[in-house]
Amino acid sequence: MHIVYERYGNITLRETILVLDFGGQYNQLIARRVRDLAVYAEILPYDAPLERIREHNPIGIIFTGGPSTVTDDNAPKCDERIFTSGIPILGICYGSQLMGVSFGGSVKRADKREYGKTDIKYDTSSPLFKDLASDSVCWMSHTYYVDTPPNDFDIIASTQSCNVAAFSCAPKKLYGVQFHPEVVHTPLGNDILRNFLYEICNAKGGWTMDNYVEAAIADIKHKVGDGRVLLGLSGGVDSSVAAVLLDRAIGSNLTCIFVDHGLLRMDEAKQVEQTFSTAYDMNLICVNAADKFLDRLADVIEPEAKRKIIGEDFIRVFESEAKKLGKVDFLAQGTIYPDVIESGAGHAAVIKSHHNVGGLPDHVDFEEIIEPLRDLFKDEVRALGKALSMPDHIVMRQPFPGPGLAIRIIGDVTREKVDILQKADAIFTHELELAKVEVWQYFAVLTGMRSVGVMGDERTYDYTIALRAVTSVDGMTADWCRIPYDVLEKVSGRIINEVGHINRIVYDITSKPPATIEWE
User: Which chain residues interact with ligand XMP by CB under 6 A?
Assistant: 307, 351-352, 354-356, 399, 401-403, 441, 475, 512, 516-518
DSSP 512: B
Instruction: Kindly tell me the burial class for residue 476, based on how many C-beta atoms sit within 10 Å of its own C-beta (0-12, 13-18, 19 or more).
Output: exposed
Nearer to ligand XMP, 77 or 316 (CB): 316
φ/ψ of 467, rounded to 5, equals -100, 135
Residues 472/440, Cβ–Cβ less than 8 Å: yes
* Distance from C-alpha of 260 to C-alpha of 123, rounded to nearest angstrom: 60
182 is catalytic: yes
CB of 18 to ligand XMP, least distance (A): 29
Neighbours of 245 (CB within 10 A): 26
CB of 247 to ligand XMP, least distance (A): 23
> CA angle, 399 as apex, 398 and 400 as ends, to 5°?
115
* Distance from C-alpha of 351 to C-alpha of 301, rounded to nearest angstrom: 17
Q: Which of 93, 169, 256, 481 is catalytic?
A: 93
CB of 364 to ligand XMP, least distance (A): 21
CB of 487 to ligand XMP, least distance (A): 21
* Distance from C-alpha of 401 to C-alpha of 314, rounded to nearest angstrom: 13
Q: Which of 56, 142, 180, 261 is catalytic?
A: 180
Nearer to ligand XMP, 130 or 354 (CB): 354
CB of 413 to ligand XMP, least distance (A): 14
Q: Which of 42, 182, 321, 518 is catalytic?
A: 182
* Distance from C-alpha of 76 to C-alpha of 101, rounded to nearest angstrom: 13
Nearer to ligand XMP, 24 or 311 (CB): 311
363 is catalytic: no
Nearer to ligand XMP, 82 or 310 (CB): 310
Query: How many H helices and E strands in the chain?
Result: 14, 20
Nearer to ligand XMP, 57 or 441 (CB): 441
Neighbours of 191 (CB within 10 A): 20
- Catalytic residues, by residue number, are 93, 180, 182
